[in-house]
């Protein structure tokens, strides 16, 4: 449950494979970039593109680029960020509700109806909800008031078209959608099992979905959400499709076994900057090379993150950079990245000097067979630590 709560706090931003061309030419339908299991990259036009599994093209990930944007989710009081049990998250318009069922509209006009047991949280971005959090037990609703919002703990009784039926110290009543800042639901069900040919979708609006790949063609990607529901998502609603069979994993989805940030108390003013998952260290979207990256780790030098592995991973892929947020500063920072394996004193890879404003630096092929401890280290490269906002971008473990 801790991981699911954590996933709800993650940002919603576009994703990107490192160092790829930025868009299709004028008049093109767009293209897909195919990342092979061996690390190779190739591209194809979306016109005529068709597959029923990533294995059919030898891909571990496929990224969409240059397609026409789909119709966005309507901007309204009922536009929400939706977290689901198991880690999926959506940007959606609330278009209705009845009893235990909630009707959503995703970008591109895709309709999805959810059962209350699938919901973890709803948060409405029009309200300042950064302080909202889930209770240890039960359900919680944040009620918008003229001077802020009140926190109501109680029981979600269901949905109606107009809003949320919630029982609290105020009694059982319906709260209109315009008066709901956030809603947290205590999970009562296990995450839904993934169908065959499981894939993970990073969506253009920052949402994430997992399911089974039915087909991908000119009509879009048909995703088996579960045994009873299939969604057809326009290709332009996608940013990246990654295998979900366990043969790949983003390092940012794992919990570090050891974290060292800044200096210890008594040294260099005792300054520390908490690391961020899929965010920059300043808690903004990861930005590097002029693009947003939905996967990665944001830290500030000096930093050390260590991860326990099981020895089964074959390689690590990714890129590094100083976050583009430093472009607004007089000094843009300078750091050195390094990666150490299994407690070694010497790194298996060292970046050399990386300065703010430079393009992302891709990692070379890094062999991980048998490795059980992976350390990501960032050090100051010059005397000043100002603006040393380091990004580990799209670190992907591959079996």
* pTM for this model (two decimals): 0.83
5: part of which helix (H) or strand (E)? Answer: helix 2-8
Kindly state the tokens that stand for 165: 């039926």
Q: According to the CATH classification, is domain 250-398 in 2.60.120.1060? A: yes
Give 330-368 pLDDT, tens digit per residue.
889 999 999 999 999 999 999 999 999 999 999 998 999
| CATH 2.60.120.1060 intervals, the chain | 250-398
Q: What are phi and psi of 132, to 5 degrees?
A: -75, 140
Q: How far apart are CA 234 and CA 109, in angstroms?
A: 9
Contact 347, 339 (CB under 8 A): yes
Q: What is the mean pLDDT of the chain?
A: 87
Question: Mind listing the pLDDT tens digit for each residue in 49-83?
Answer: 999 999 999 999 998 887 666 666 666 557 899 99
- 128 — pLDDT class (breaks 50, 70, 90): low
Task: Quickly state the pLDDT bin for 272 (edges 50, 70, 90).
Answer: confident
Tens of pLDDT along 306-330?
A: 999 999 999 999 999 999 999 988 8
Segment among 15-29, 119-133, 198-212 with least mean pLDDT? 15-29
Output phi, psi for 55, to 5 deg.
-60, -25
The residues that bridge with 336 in the sheet, in sequence order, are 353, 379
User: Nearest to residue 391, comparing CAs of 348, 349, 362?
Assistant: 362
97: nearest Cα among 74, 115, 72, 82: 115
- Round to whole Å and give the CA distance between 301 and 334: 9
With a cut of 60, say whether residue 193 has pLDDT above it: yes
Q: Tell me which of 69-73, 76-80, 117-121, 128-132 is least confident.
A: 69-73
């Amino acid at each position: 449950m801790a991981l699911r709560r954590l996933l709800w706090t993650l940002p919603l931003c576009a994703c990107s494979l490192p160092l790829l061309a930025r868009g299709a030419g004028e008049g093109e339908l767009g293209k897909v970039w195919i990342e092979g299991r061996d690390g190779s990259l190739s591209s194809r036009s979306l016109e005529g593109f068709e597959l029923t599994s990533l294995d059919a093209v030898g891909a571990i990930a496929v990224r969409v680029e240059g397609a026409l944007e789909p119709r966005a989710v309507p901007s309204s009081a009922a536009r929400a960020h939706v977290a689901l049990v198991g880690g999926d998250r959506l940007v959606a318009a609330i278009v209705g509700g009845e009893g235990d069922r909630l009707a959503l509209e995703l970008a591109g006009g895709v309709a999805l109806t959810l059962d209350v047991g699938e919901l973890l949280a709803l948060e409405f971005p029009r309200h300042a909800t950064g302080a909202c959090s889930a209770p240890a037990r039960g359900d919680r609703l944040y009620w918008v008031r003229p001077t802020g919002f009140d926190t109501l703990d109680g029981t979600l009784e269901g949905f109606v078209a107009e809003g949320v039926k919630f029982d609290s110290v105020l009694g059982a009543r319906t709260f209109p959608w315009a008066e709901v800042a956030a809603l947290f639901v205590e999970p009562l069900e296990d995450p839904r099992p993934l169908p065959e040919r499981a894939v993970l979708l990073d969506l253009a609006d920052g949402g994430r979905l997992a399911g089974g790949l039915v087909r991908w063609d000119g009509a879009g990607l048909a995703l088996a959400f579960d045994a009873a529901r299939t969604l057809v998502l326009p290709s332009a609603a996608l940013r990246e499709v990654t295998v979900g069979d366990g043969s790949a994993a983003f390092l940012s989805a794992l919990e570090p076994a050891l974290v060292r940030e800044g200096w210890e108390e008594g040294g260099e003013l005792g300054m520390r900057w908490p690391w961020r998952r899929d965010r920059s260290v300043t808690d903004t979207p990861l930005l590097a090379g002029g693009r947003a990256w939905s996967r990665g780790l944001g830290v500030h030098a000096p930093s050390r993150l260590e991860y326990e592995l099981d020895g089964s991973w074959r390689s690590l892929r990714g890129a590094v950079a100083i976050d583009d947020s430093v472009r607004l500063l007089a000094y843009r920072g300078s750091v050195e990245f390094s990666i150490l394996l299994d407690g070694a004193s010497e790194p298996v890879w060292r970046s050399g000097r990386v300065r703010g404003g430079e393009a992302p630096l891709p990692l070379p092929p890094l062999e991980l067979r048998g490795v059980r401890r992976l350390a990501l280290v960032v050090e100051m490269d010059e005397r000043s630590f100002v603006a040393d906002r380091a990004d580990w971008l799209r670190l992907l473990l591959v079996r």
